[in-house]
Amino acid sequence: MNSLEIINESINESIKVKELLKKESSKIEEATNVVSNVLNNGGEILLCGNGGSAADSQHIACEFVCKLQKERKSLPAIAFTTNTSLLTAISNDTLFDLIFARQIEGIGTSKDLLIAISISGNSLNILKAVETSKSIGIYTIGLTGKHGGELASSVDLSIKVPSSNTQRIQEAHILIGHIICELVEKKLGI
């Protein structure tokens, strides 16, 4: 396969995954309603993920805090992947599995929402973050791949991207984040 064929195949595969993602539209709408309610009630959006999903959690948090489409007030969102001192201290002093759970334990409240991103749905530190969130009374949303792993059954709302291809799943996770943020901006009238 030459370069142009690879490019076109990748584009076509991305389009196909996004077409199939329409089956999750009602769940994306539900997630939007939850995010809007959390923000209306003084809560914060907490996000976590590993690797590319860590970058996605930061990207989505940025859209809420800065802006997506229009100038507006900042919305409270934090990605638990950005404080390297804290991440390395928790990893070194306790367990890597607790890097997100400890942060949630420290600042999370029952008014908040956790968006946990895991392509496999089986990352132990993500599952521990959900477990800790639930113990505090935090509503949980999971963004996963096709099979969802343990995450899909442990969160309050699971949005599964219908693919097993990591790149396509990550592209769809950002699309989902953008859609939610766009709709939240409209719903909150900001």
The arithmetic mean of pLDDT across residues 132-161, rounded, is 98
Residue-level pLDDT at 36: 97
The radius of gyration of the chain's CA atoms, rounded to the nearest angstrom, is: 16
pLDDT > 90: what percent of the chain? 94
Q: How far apart are CA 67 and CA 36, in angstroms?
A: 15
Element (H, E) at 79: strand 77-79
pTM for this structure? 0.96
Q: What is the pLDDT of residues 58-77, one digit of tens each?
A: 999 999 999 888 888 999 99
Q: How far is CA 136 from CA 31, 77, 104, 125, in A?
A: 19, 18, 9, 17
Q: How far apart are CA 123 and CA 58, in angstroms?
A: 18
Burial of 30 (0-12, 13-18, 19+ CB in 10 A): middle
What is the SS3 assignment for 94?
coil
The arithmetic mean of pLDDT across residues 94-101, rounded, is 95
Residue-level pLDDT at 144: 98
Q: Domain total for the chain?
A: 1
Residue-level pLDDT at 190: 72
Residue-level pLDDT at 70: 80
Q: Write the CATH number for 167.
A: 3.40.50.10490
Residue-level pLDDT at 112: 98
- Domain span at residue 51 reads 3-187
The arithmetic mean of pLDDT across residues 113-128, rounded, is 98
Q: What is the pLDDT of residues 155-188, one digit of tens each?
A: 999 999 999 999 999 999 999 999 999 999 998 8
The pLDDT-based confidence of 26 (bands split at 50, 70, 90) is: very high
48, β-bridge pairs: 116
The arithmetic mean of pLDDT across residues 17-45, rounded, is 97
> Can you spell out the DSSP letters for 116-166?
EE-SSS--HHHHHHHHHHHHHT-EEEEEE-SS-HHHHHHSSEEEE-S-S-H
Residue-level pLDDT at 147: 95
Residue-level pLDDT at 189: 81
The arithmetic mean of pLDDT across residues 18-44, rounded, is 97
Summary mean pLDDT of the chain: 96
The arithmetic mean of pLDDT across residues 100-117, rounded, is 98
Q: Which of 186, 182, 180, 148 is nearest to 29 (CA)?
A: 180
